[in-house]
Structure 1
Amino acid sequence: MTNRLDTHPSWRPSETGASTRSQPIDVDLVNGPRDTTELVDIHESIAQAFATQGRWQLAYSHLTEALRLARDSQHVTPLIPEQYQRQVDELKRAHAEAVDASLRDALTASYNRRYLDQKLDKLLAEQRRDGEGIAVALIDLDHFKQVNDTHGHVVGDRVLQQVVALLQADLPAGAFCARYGGEEFVLVLPEANPWFAVTTLERARVRVAEHNWSSIVPGLVVTISAGLTHRPGWELPQRDAEWQLRRADDLLYAAKRAGRNVVAYRRSGAIRIAGLDDNCR
C-alpha cells in the first residue's frame, strides 16, 4: 500500500508492510508528535522495523525521510497544524498496519508464532482463579507431506489457507488461531471449560474432514489431528506458554498413535479420544 499526501511538497510516498519490531516506538502515537523531532522518530522506528525484516528499500525510504526532516527542520517554514496532523495520521496508520502485519503469518493470515508466545503468556499470567480456564490445542495436518509431494506446494498452500479458515469458522470471542510452524497450528480458547474446549475442537476436526477438498484437487482428502490441554482457573500461574504447548504436543502425539483424525485430551489424568471416550461426536 502507498501512502500519499499532496498537501506538502516535501512528503514522499511510503509503502507499508510487515514489521518485526519487538519494542514500542518512543513516540506518543495517540496524541501525535509535538514537533518535527518526533516525526523523525516515527520514520526511524518504521525504518528499523522494515530493516529487521530485510525490506531494505522500504527501510531506506523512511530513513531518508527522517534524515531529510532532521536536516531541513531548522531551515524551512514550519508546517501548519492541518498539514502536520495529516502527516502524523498517515504515519500512525502505516505504523499500525506494519505492527499488525508483523503478527500475522504471510500465507494464511492467521497469527504467527511471535503473537502466540506473547499473547498466551499474557493470558496465562492474567488468568482469574474463578475463571473457566484456558484451553490450548496443537493441531497438525495428517500426511501433509504427501499432499505437497503429490500435488505440489501451490496446492499445499491452498490447503493450509482453507484449513485455517475452517479452524477459525466457529471460534468464540477472544479465541484465536496461530500458525505454529509448517503444517502445525495452535488454537487458544480463553475462558473455556474442558467440555466446551473438547466439543469446539471436535467440531473443527469434523469441519476439516467433511470439507469438499475435491474443489481444490479431485479426490483430495485432508484431515487433522489435535492435542488439547486445559489449565483450570484455580491452578497457580506457574507454567508458561512453552510448558502448555509441550503438554499439547504430547497429546498430539497420542492422537497420531490413535490413528489420526482425532482429538486427544486428558480427563482425570488419563488420555481420552474425543468421540470414542465420550459423546461429543
Structure 2
Amino acid sequence: MKGTLTEYIRLFPEPIAIVNSNGEILAINDGASLFWQQDAQELIGQSLAVLLQQSQDQVQAWLKLCQGNAQMLAAHFPIPQPETNHWVIEGIGINLDGEPAILTRIVPSFCHNQQLLAAQLQQLQAELARQVALVTELQQRQQTLEQERQQLQILAQRDPLTALGNRRFFDKALSRLWQEAQVQGHPLTLALIDIDDFKAYNDCYGHLAGDRVLQQVAHTLKAHVRSNDAIARYGGEEFTLVLACLSAETALQILNRMRNHVRELKILQSKAACHPYITVSGGLCFVPARNRATLTEIFAIADVALYQAKQAGRDRCVLLTWSPNAPSNP
C-alpha cells in the first residue's frame, strides 16, 4: 500500500509528504521537493522538525494530534520562509500498512481550512479505492486464467471418449511410478489390455456402437483401479495399466477380475468373433523390486504376454516376470 500511496500523492500539485509517527519523511511528491528546493531522495528520512525549524517536542505533539484525527484537519504550523510566513503545513492521520502515519500538505495560509483538505483527501482515498479495485480485478483474472490453464492441462491428458487418461498422461504417470519403484524398492506391474475381436464388432454393429463399448469397458476397468495406480486408453481398443506395490499373484487376480466383469456385461459380439460376448485379453509384465529393467523392456514383455493370451484363445490374461533373459516381441 505504501508504494501505491506514494504513486498517487504525485498526482497532486500541492506539496504533499507522508511522515511516520516520529516525523521522518517516508514519501514525498514533486511539489514538496520543489517547495523545499531539495531532491526528493534527499528529503526521504529527514526530520520534519528540522525542515520546519521547530522543536522536536512541538512537532511530536502536533503529530500525535494528527494521529488521533482521521477525518478532519488536526492542526497546522507556520512555515518559515526567507521572505514570507504565508505558508502553513496541515496534517491528517492515516493507516499505512497497519502502521500509523501522517499525510501532510503545504498550502498558502489563506487556503488553510478543513473542508479543502477533507475534500482533497476524499479524492485521494477514492482514487486509491479505485486502484485497489483494479488490482483486485486483475488478481481475479489471473486466478481465472490459472484455473483455465490447469483445466486445459488436464484436458490435454484425457481421452475425450472414455474419460481415462490418454497416452501422454500414461507416459508421464508410468515414468513417475517407475521412478518411485526404483527409489523405494517395491515391485511394479505393467499390463496391456485389449478388447478381443473389436474390428469384427465394429464391422457388424458400426463405429458408434463400438464407441459405446469402449466407454463401458473403460468404466469397468477403472472401477478396479486404486488411487495410486494409473490407467489410460493407449490407443484404439487398447488400454494400459500400472499397478504399484503388489505381488505378481495379486496383480494377476486384479486383471482377471477386470476380465470377468467385462464378460459379465454381456455385450453381444459379432458371429465372426471367438466368443459370444465382448471380452478382453491382458498381458502383464511383473517387475520385481531392485531390478535393472528398462521401460522399453517392460513394454516388450507385456506385449509378448498379450500376444500369448490372444494366441491361447483370447478372454484370458498371461503374466510374465521380467528377467535379463525375458522373451522379446514375437
Mark yes or no: TM-score above 0.5.
yes
Q: CA deviation at 1:266?
A: 2.2
Aligned pair partner of 2:287 in 207, 223, 231: 231
Query: Does the CA-based 8 Å contact 2:196-2:280 persist in structure 1?
Result: yes
* Structure 2 Cα separation of the partners of residues 100 and 268 of structure 1: 32
Q: CA deviation at 1:187?
A: 1.0
What is the aligned partner in structure 2 of residue 276 from structure 1?
none
Matched, 1:222 2:274: no
Residues 135 and 88 of structure 1: CA distance in aligned 2, closer, same or farther (over 3 Å):
same
What is the aligned partner in structure 2 of residue 34 from structure 1?
none
* Structure 2 Cα separation of the partners of residues 79 and 233 of structure 1: 57
Q: CA deviation at 1:121?
A: 1.9
Residues 119 and 268 of structure 1: CA distance in aligned 2, closer, same or farther (over 3 Å):
closer
Aligned pair partner of 1:113 in 160, 164, 167: 167
* Structure 2 Cα separation of the partners of residues 168 and 261 of structure 1: 18
Q: Secondary structure at the match of 2:172?
A: helix
Q: CA deviation at 1:268?
A: 9.4
Query: Does the CA-based 8 Å contact 2:286-2:321 persist in structure 1?
Result: no
Structure 2: gaps spanning 5 or more residues: 1-130, 269-274
What is the aligned partner in structure 2 of residue 246 from structure 1?
300
- Say which one has the larger Rg: 2
* Structure 2 Cα separation of the partners of residues 130 and 154 of structure 1: 44
Instruction: Give the structure-2-normalised TM-score.
Output: 0.53
Spell out the pairing of 1:1-281 with structure 2 (5 A cutoff): 80-128=134-182, 131-213=185-267, 221-236=277-292, 238-240=293-295, 242-266=296-320
Q: CA deviation at 1:213?
A: 2.2
| 1:221 maps to amino acid | Y
* Structure 2 Cα separation of the partners of residues 101 and 130 of structure 1: 31
Q: Secondary structure at the match of 2:146?
A: helix
Residues 103 and 130 of structure 1: CA distance in aligned 2, closer, same or farther (over 3 Å):
closer
Q: CA deviation at 1:104?
A: 0.6
* Structure 1 Cα separation of the partners of residues 197 and 143 of structure 2: 47
| 2:302 maps to amino acid | A
Q: Secondary structure at the match of 2:165?
A: coil
| Higher RCO, Cα 8 Å, sep 6+ | 1
Q: Secondary structure at the match of 2:243?
A: strand
* Structure 1 Cα separation of the partners of residues 233 and 299 of structure 2: 13
* Structure 1 Cα separation of the partners of residues 321 and 277 of structure 2: 30
* Structure 2 Cα separation of the partners of residues 119 and 128 of structure 1: 14
Greater strand percent: which structure? 2
* Structure 1 Cα separation of the partners of residues 222 and 232 of structure 2: 10
* Structure 1 Cα separation of the partners of residues 142 and 322 of structure 2: 56
Query: Does the CA-based 8 Å contact 2:173-2:230 persist in structure 1?
Result: no
* Structure 1 Cα separation of the partners of residues 249 and 208 of structure 2: 37
Residues 268 and 104 of structure 1: CA distance in aligned 2, closer, same or farther (over 3 Å):
closer
Query: Does the CA-based 8 Å contact 1:205-1:262 persist in structure 2?
Result: yes
* Structure 1 Cα separation of the partners of residues 182 and 322 of structure 2: 22
Q: CA deviation at 1:118?
A: 1.8
Aligned length: 190
Q: Which segments of structure 1 move beyond 6 Å, counting only runs of 4 or more? A: 268-271
Measured against aligned partners, the alpha-carbon deviations of 1:206-261 in whole angstroms (never above 9, x if no partner) come to: 000111426xxxx972000010011112113x402x33222111110000011000
Instruction: Give the structure-1-normalised TM-score.
Output: 0.62
Measured against aligned partners, the alpha-carbon deviations of 1:119-138 in whole angstroms (never above 9, x if no partner) come to: 21222123146643111100
